């Protein structure tokens, strides 16, 4: 049986950032990915935004790792030539009644160490974006966008150069403790066993299922999963080009950050995500990623609250993403949940639950943290 220092379960952006950090720390690493491609789940179905750290509770993991992760990510992209742009973001209050909430967001950003924020008036916002309608705005010059696939390819390349190995179509079927090692059964049609000193469960949407397959882990240490589906729409050919240079965000809504306007690196606009809470699927059932075109009218209404000039019938379906949340409808947003031996009592195991936004931005900081957990034992 082959022996490695760490088996990282999941080859999304967070799993790859962890694998890279472990491999650079001179650990022998195998990355086990259920799919046939890297990053084909959450990591390829999001807004590709580099967040500054505006929204999250001060002192929370999301706040700390978003700010630290943004610094690491921007430096890494600049060093490696990963396509990205710090185009900036405007968070807008469409109504005067929402201005105090915007002021509270500015105070929260400063408390999180995000200093590149500025409250601006409606006139100042219009000077930045003439097509924008708002009562006031929060300008974040630290926000931007990144090519998530190029980022993941670069992270994987670094990990492999440092000796890590990637195993595609290799779900973790289960693990049992044998002395100082975990004996891990992976694969689908053809299965094999691998002994690992550490298991790092970075399986995203499947993190709870992976955790449940590990012998000895108390069910009470596996938090419930809530699924929030988000739709994205883009401009159809008759919609022209959106007249914006910044990302445009409305005020946050329950379960999300509102239907925002983001740009790709070519300057093309897309809108989303909204929030549709999904029931837990039956065992073995595939998640539904279909775009519901009936939601288009609601999108148009929300977009026109900050872009009144959105042309009629200008939207077309783009894609959807599903986020693994740890709190459900009406509940306050939950923090990331990362548990090691000190929390659940099993040696050599780290579980990552509820890694949603700002997971892409925080990915390298999360990798840094996991290396620390492993090195401390």
pLDDT tens-digit series, residues 182-199: 999 998 888 899 999 999
Contact 306, 94 (CB under 8 A): yes
Question: Do residue 311 and residue 162 come from a single domain?
Answer: no
Question: Do residue 131 and residue 246 come from a single domain?
Answer: yes
Stated as kind and residue range, the H or E segment containing 359 is helix 359-376
Tell me whether residue 14 is in a domain.
yes
Q: Which of 49-63, 105-119, 158-172, 240-254 has the weakest average pLDDT?
A: 240-254
Question: Do residue 239 and residue 289 come from a single domain?
Answer: yes
Q: How many domains does the chain have?
A: 2
Tell me whether residue 345 is in a domain.
yes
Residues 6+ apart with CB under 8 A from 250: 91, 92, 94, 258, 259, 260, 302, 305, 306
Question: Residue 211 and residue 208: Cα distance in Å, rounded?
Answer: 5
Question: Do residue 38 and residue 96 come from a single domain?
Answer: no
Tell me whether residue 201 is in a domain.
yes
DSSP secondary structure letter of residue 335: P
Confidence of residue 82 (pLDDT cuts 50, 70, 90): very high
Question: Residue 270 and residue 259: Cα distance in Å, rounded?
Answer: 10
Question: Do residue 285 and residue 198 come from a single domain?
Answer: no
Tell me whether residue 243 is in a domain.
yes
Question: Residue 209 and residue 222: Cα distance in Å, rounded?
Answer: 9
Cα dihedral 16, 337, 376, 206 sign: negative
**How many residues make up the chain in this entry?**
377
DSSP for 278-297, please give it.
EPPPPTTPPP-----GGGHH
CATH code: domain of residue 120: 3.30.9.10
Question: Do residue 218 and residue 314 come from a single domain?
Answer: no
> Which whole number is the average pLDDT over 280-301?
94
Residue 258 pLDDT > 90: no
Q: pTM for this structure? A: 0.97
User: Range of 197's domain?
Assistant: 2-47+149-224+333-376
Tell me which long-range contacts 301-304 makes (C-beta under 8 A, separation of at least 24): 302/250, 302/258, 302/259, 302/274, 303/259, 303/261, 303/271
Last residue of a domain, one of 301, 325, 349: 325
Tokens matching residue 132: 């924008």
Question: Do residue 194 and residue 311 come from a single domain?
Answer: no
Question: Do residue 138 and residue 267 come from a single domain?
Answer: yes
- pLDDT value of residue 131: 98
CATH code: domain of residue 363: 3.50.50.60
- pLDDT value of residue 30: 98
Compute how many other C-beta atoms are within 10 angstroms of the C-beta atom of residue 153: 16
At 66-77, the pLDDT tens digits run 999 999 999 999
Question: Do residue 29 and residue 157 come from a single domain?
Answer: yes
Question: Do residue 350 and residue 213 come from a single domain?
Answer: yes
Question: Do residue 307 and residue 340 come from a single domain?
Answer: no
Give the HSE-up count for residue 249: Cα atoms under 13 Å, Cβ half-sphere. Answer: 24
DSSP secondary structure letter of residue 44: G
Residue 79 pLDDT > 80: yes
Confidence of residue 256 (pLDDT cuts 50, 70, 90): confident
Q: What is the mean pLDDT of the chain?
A: 96
Stated as kind and residue range, the H or E segment containing 186 is strand 181-186
Q: What radius of gyration do the chain's Cα atoms show?
A: 21
Tell me whether residue 61 is in a domain.
no
Tell me whether residue 53 is in a domain.
no
Nearest to 299 by CA among 328, 268, 261, 262: 261
- pLDDT value of residue 377: 83
Largest CA distance in the chain: 67
Tell me whether residue 106 is in a domain.
yes
CA 331 to chain centre: 20
Question: Do residue 161 and residue 295 come from a single domain?
Answer: no
């Amino acid at each position: 049986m082959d022996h490695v220092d760490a088996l990282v379960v999941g080859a999304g952006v967070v799993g790859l950032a962890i694998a890279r950090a472990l491999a650079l720390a001179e650990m022998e690493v195998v990355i086990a990915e259920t799919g046939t491609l890297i990053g084909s789940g959450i990591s390829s179905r999001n807004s590709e935004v580099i967040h500054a750290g505006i929204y999250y509770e001060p002192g929370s993991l999301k706040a700390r790792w978003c700010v630290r992760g943004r610094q690491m990510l921007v430096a890494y992209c600049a060093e490696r030539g990963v396509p990205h742009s710090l185009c900036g973001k405007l968070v807008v209050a469409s109504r005067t009644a929402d201005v105090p909430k915007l002021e509270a967001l500015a105070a929260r950003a400063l408390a999180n160490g995000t200093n590149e924020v500025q409250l601006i008036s409606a006139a100042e916002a219009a000077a930045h974006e003439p097509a924008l309608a708002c009562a006031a705005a929060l300008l974040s010059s630290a926000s931007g966008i990144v090519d998530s696939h190029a980022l993941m390819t670069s992270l994987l390349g670094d990990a492999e150069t440092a000796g890590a190995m990637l195993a595609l179509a290799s779900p973790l079927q289960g693990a049992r403790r044998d002395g100082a090692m975990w004996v891990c059964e992976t694969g689908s049609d053809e299965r094999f066993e691998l002994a690992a000193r550490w298991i790092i469960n970075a399986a995203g949407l499947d993190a709870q299922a992976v955790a449940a397959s590990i012998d000895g882990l108390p069910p009470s240490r596996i938090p419930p999963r809530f699924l929030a589906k988000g739709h994205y729409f883009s401009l159809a050919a008759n919609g022209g080009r959106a007249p914006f240079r910044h990302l445009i965000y409305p005020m946050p809504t329950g379960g999300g950050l509102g239907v925002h306007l983001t740009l790709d690196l070519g300057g093309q606009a897309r809108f989303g995500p909204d929030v549709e809470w999904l029931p837990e699927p039956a065992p073995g059932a595939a998640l539904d990623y279909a775009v519901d075109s009936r939601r288009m009218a609601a999108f148009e209404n929300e977009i026109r609250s900050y872009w009144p000039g959105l042309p009629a019938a200008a939207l077309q379906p783009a894609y959807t993403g599903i986020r693994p949340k740890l709190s459900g409808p009406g509940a306050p947003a939950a923090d990331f949940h990362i548990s090691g031996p000190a929390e659940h009592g099993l040696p050599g195991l780290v579980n990552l639950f509820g890694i949603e936004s700002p997971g892409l931005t925080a990915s390298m900081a999360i990798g840094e943290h996991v290396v620390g957990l492993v090195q401390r034992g």
